[in-house]
Structure 1
C-alpha cells in the first residue's frame, strides 16, 4: 500500500507540474499576441515568459510595468492566469468536469488527485472541499469588487471604476501583487477604507480554504481541526509580532508625520506587516524602509501563508510545528504537543526537510545572482536576497532588481517562482526516478556531537 501511494504521488506530482507548465505556455502565447501590448510597446520572449510565470505562480514580480505596457487584453490574460494559478488548475479541471458531465460523479483517480493536491485527510472530503474552494473564492472576490467599487467608481467612473475594482479584488485575494495603477497602492496610502478592504482580502486568500471551512462549520461541529488551530495561532502570532516589530523599526512612519495623521500611519504599518505574507501589494517604496524592516519582511516572506491557500513560502504550519519542536526540546520533552494532541515524528521530519531544502534553494539562487547581477551603490547583499525570498515566497515585493535582471537572472527568478508555487516536494517528486524500497537491514545506532 505504501509503495502504491508513493508511486501515485510521483504520478500526481508530474501531472501538477505539467499542468502549471501548460498554463504558463498558454499565457506566454496569449501575451505574445500584438493585441496584448499597448501601441508602440515590444516585449521580448523572455519577458513574456517571465510575466506569464509570475502571474501563474501568483507572485507579482514584473519586468515591465503592467499598467503602461500591457493592453486591456494583456491585463485580462494576466488576471486569468493569476486566478487559475491561485486556485489551482485541478480546481478548474473539476469545475469543468462537473459542468460538462453533470450526470456523472468524479472518478476515483480524479478524487485522489484532488485529495492530494488540496492536502485533504480523507477521500470523502473532496467534493465538499471543492464546493467551499469555489464558493468562498467567488464570495470573497465578488464581495471585494462591491466594496472596492464604492471607492473606485466615484474616482474613475463606472467603466474604469468597475474594471479597477475587479482587478484589485482578484489580485488581492489571490495574493498576486499585479496592479493597474503603475505603482501598486503608493498613491492610496491616505485612503484608510481601501487599505482595510485590501487587508481583509489578502488575509482571506492567505488563510486557506480548509481553515475557512472549519470556521464556517464550527457552529455545527463545535470544534476546529488541529491544522486550523495551529494555522490560526501561528498566523495571529506572526501578524501581531510583525506589526509591533515594524512599528518599532519604522518608528510608526514618523518621517510621514507631516503628511499623515498617526492613525493612518498605524494602518500603513499594519498593511506593511500583512503584505509580505505573499500579497506583494505595497503602499510605501520598499527601498525607503529601514534595514530592520527589510530584515523582518524577509522573514515574513520566507514563512508565507497557509497550506491550501493562495499564499507561498514554507507555510505557517511548518513554522508552527518547528517552533513547537524547539520549545519541546528546550523543555526536555520528547513529544511535540499542541492543543492536547501530539505531532508524529514523520510530520516533524517533513517540516525540517522542507526548511532545509528551501534554505538550499535560496542559498544557491542567491549565489548565482551575486555573479550575474549588479548591486547598486548604497545597497548590500540584501538587494539580492530580498528578491530571491520574494520569488520563492511568491510575494512580488522588490527592491528594484527585477526590471534590471539579466537573462540568467530572469531564468533563476522564474524557477524560484515556479518552485515556490508548486512546492519543493512536488518539484522533487516530478523530477525523481527513485525506486521505493523497504529497508530490511538497520545498522547500530550511534550519536555524534551536535552544536
Structure 2
C-alpha cells in the first residue's frame, strides 16, 4: 500500500511540475510578444514566440530568430530570466520568496522541491536550497567578474558588464543563448574567455548535490555513492570525448593556419564540454567531421548530472548501465562500485529511461525526416543531431532550427520540454493510471536473448 501511495503522490507532483513549466512558458511568450521586446522592423509570429520561450525555459538555446539581432535588451533579459528560472527550477524561487517574506514552507512545497531537485530525503530540502541559491550566485557573479576583465576593455563599461552578466548566466545555466550573434566563434582565439566559460558550464552541469558533498567533504570525510559515480563518469566522458575529438578533427584543422597548439587544445576541450548541454560553440558545427558529429551526439544524449542545470539521460544513468554491463560480462550477480551495491530498482529505472528515450528520439526523428527538407551534403545526421540537441537541452544545431516547419517546431518544442522536465515526470503527468494489486502471478519462463 505504501508503494501505491508513493506512486499516486509522484503522479500529483509530476502534474504540478509540468503545469508550472507550462505557466512559465506562457508568461515568457506574453512578455516576448510586447512591442518593446523586439527590434524595430522585426515581427515575431506566435509559433516563434512560443518556441523561444520554450527553448529559454527548458535552457536549450535552439533559436529560430537571432537573439542578438531580433530582440531588444528587454527581450534578451526576458530570455535570461526564463533561463535562470528554468535552470534552477521555479520552486527554488518560490522557496526564496517564502524566506524573504519569512513564511513557513508547507509540506507540499517541500515535496515539490524534493521532486524538482531529485532529492533522496525530504529533510534535505532546506539545506540543499541554501546551496542551490548560494552556489548559483557565487558562480554567476564570480563568472561575471572574471569575464568583465576581458569584455569591458572590448565593449566599454556598460556593454561590457551587460555581456559579462548575460554570458555568465547562460554558461552556468547551460543555456545556449548568446548576444554576440555567432555564439563564441569570435572568441576561439581567446583562451581566457573559453576557460572561464568551461568552468561555468562544468559547475552548472555537475549538480548541486555533488557540490554540497564536495564542500562538506572536510567535515564528513566521505562522498556519497551518487557523487562518486557522477564525478567518475563526468571526468571519463570529458577525457574520452577530448581524445576522440583530437583524432576525428585532426587537431582542429578548422582553425586558422598558425593557431598555437595551446589554443587548439583549449578549443578541442571546449568542444568536448559544450555538448554536455551548454550549446555554445567556437566553430561552425556544420563543418565538423562526421566522426566528430557522432561523438557530439553521444555526449548530447548522455548529458549532465541529475539535479543540475543539464539535460540528457544523465551521467548516473550511463554510469550505472556501464557497471551493470561489466558485472554481467564478468558473471557477477551484484552490480558494485566503491564497495557499495547498486539497488536493482535503480538499474531497472535506468534501463527503462534508456528505452523510453530511444523511443522518443526515434519517433521524433522519423517525423522530422518527413516534414523537413535535408539540404545537399547532409544525410540523416542533419535531423538526428537536432533531435538529440533538443532532447538533451543542448542548443547545438547543424542549421535546421531556423528553417523548421510548424510541425517541426512543435516536435522540437516537445522534445525540449521532455528533456528538461524529464521523461518519467512527463509520462506520469499525462497518464491516468490506477494502482492495481496483481492477485495472480503466472509461472516464469525463459526466452532466447541475443
* TM-score between both structures, scaled by the size of structure 1: 0.99
Provide the C-alpha distance between the structure 2 equivalents of 1:372 and 1:233, rounded to a whole number of angstroms: 40
User: Counterpart of 1:45?
Assistant: 46
C-alpha displacement of 1:99: 1.3
Q: Residue in 2 aligned with 1:132?
A: 131
> Matches of 1:366 and 1:261 in 2, distance apart?
39
Q: Does 1:434 align with 2:433?
A: yes
Correspondence 1:25-424 to 2 at 5 A: 25-100=26-101, 102=102, 104-256=103-255, 258-424=257-423
Q: Which moved more, 1:105-114 or 1:119-128?
A: 105-114
Please report how far the alpha carbon of residue 2 of structure 1 lies from its aligned counterpart in structure 2 after TM superposition: 1.7
Check the 8 A contact 2:42/2:70 in 1, yes or no: yes
- Distance in 1, Cα, partners of 2:50 & 2:258: 40
Offset at 1:415?
0.2
In 1, distance between residues paired with 2:6 and 2:291?
Answer: 45
* More moved, 124-133 vs 108-117: 108-117
TM-superposed deviation, 1:105: 2.7
Deviation of 1:438 after TM superposition, in Å, equals 2.4
SS at match of 1:449: coil
Could you say which residue in structure 2 is the equivalent of 1:6?
Answer: 7
Alpha-carbon deviation of 1:257?
5.3
Contact 2:80 2:166 in 1 (8 A): yes
Shifted more, 219-228 versus 433-442: the winner is: 433-442
Bigger mean CA deviation after superposition, 349-358 or 118-127: 118-127
Residues 202-244 of structure 1 deviation map (CA, whole Å, 9 limit, x = unaligned): 0000000000000000000000000000000000000000000
State the secondary structure of the residue aligned to 2:122.
Answer: coil
Helix, strand or coil for the counterpart of 2:22? helix
Corresponding pairs, count: 449
User: Is 107-116 or 154-163 further displaced after alignment?
Assistant: 107-116
Task: Please say which of residues 439-448 and 56-65 is displaced more in the overlay.
Answer: 439-448
1-structure distance, mates of 2:295, 2:115: 33
Q: CA deviation at 1:198?
A: 0.2
Cα distance in 2, alignment partners of residues 401 and 361 from structure 1: 19
3-state DSSP of counterpart to 2:282: coil
Aligned equivalents of 2:81, 2:237: Cα separation in 1: 31
Could you list the per-position Cα deviations for residues 71-117 of structure 1 after superposition, in whole angstroms to 9, with x for gaps in the alignment?
A: 000000000000000000111111111112x1x43122222221222
Contact 2:68–2:180 at 8 Å: present in 1 too? yes
Alignment of 1:11-22 (within 5 A): 11-22=12-23
> Structure 1: which 5+ runs fail to align?
none
Tell me how far apart the structure 1 counterparts of residues 313 and 156 of structure 2 sit (CA, whole Å): 41
- Deviation of 1:440 (Å): 2.6
CA RMSD of aligned residues (A): 0.8
Distance 2:404 2:256 in 1: 35
Counterpart CA distance in 2 for 1:47 and 1:55 is 12
Distance 1:387 1:256 in 2: 24
TM superposition score normalised by structure 2: 0.99
C-alpha deviation, 1:258, in angstroms: 1.3
| Structure 1 residue 19, shift from structure 2 partner | 0.3
Distance 1:443 1:24 in 2: 47
What secondary structure does 1:133 align onto? helix
Tell me the distance in 2 between the aligned counterparts of 1:256 and 1:31: 37
CA distance in 2, matches of 1:265, 1:123: 46
Q: What is the Cα deviation at residue 256 of structure 1?
A: 2.7
8 Å CA contact 2:51–2:413 kept in 1: the answer is yes
Distance 1:441 1:347 in 2: 26
Task: Determine the C-alpha separation between the residues in 1 that align with 2:393 and 2:258.
Answer: 32
Equivalent-residue separation in structure 2 for 1:227 and 1:406 (angstroms): 41
Deviation string, structure 1 residues 249-306 (Cα, Å, up to 9, x no partner): 0011134351411110111000000000000000010001000000000000000000
- Structure 2 unaligned blocks of 5 or more: none
SS in 1 for 2:253: helix
CA distance, structure 2, for counterparts of residue 88 and residue 242 of structure 1:
29
Q: Secondary structure at the match of 1:306?
A: coil
Most deviating of 250-259 and 339-348: 250-259
